[in-house]
Amino acid sequence: MDNKIFALIKSDKGKYLILKMNKETMFLDEWYVVTGHVEKAESYPEAARREIKEETGLAVLSIKNSGVVFDYHCKQWDKDAHEKVFFVTVKQSAPTLSEEHTEFLWLNKEDFFEKMYWYGEDKKSLKGLLEKF
């Protein structure tokens, strides 16, 4: 089982951060959010803070476990995944992108929803998350 985090990031100005995946390193050319693996002896919130720092360089102002968990099979790594969703607030600024991403945008909720890549056709669960955050 691969323990993971999924971070929905909203700025102190109410905009949502979306990142363009680097097709060379992430195998997809889509807009997505910060995700990542939980390391040994690391809590889920610690992993979320670390992944946000590594992928964006942004400092977390607040972090909250949404209570939502995605359990799925990742075809890319042929592993089952257990992914906890976090609501994260940061100070809005230009992120320092890691090699995993090539671009970023700060968007309002509606534009974020439209641009965000979602596995499968149904974005109902994403809409529910955004309504809670």
- The predicted pLDDT at position 121 comes to 63
> Which of the listed CATH numbers 3.40.630.40, 1.10.40.30, 3.90.79.10, 3.90.1300.10 matches domain 2-132?
3.90.79.10
SS3 content of the chain, % helix, strand, coil (to 5): 25, 40, 35
Radius of gyration of the chain (CA): 14
pLDDT in tens, 60-81: 999 999 999 988 887 777 889 8
Strand ranges inside the chain, DSSP E = 2-11, 16-21, 31-32, 34-37, 60-74, 79-90, 101-107
User: What residue ranges do the domains of the chain occupy?
Assistant: 2-132
Helix (H, G, I), strand (E, B), or coil: what is residue 76?
coil
d(CA 97, CA 71): 27
Banded model confidence at residue 120, pLDDT cuts 50, 70, 90? low
Whether pTM exceeds 0.75: yes
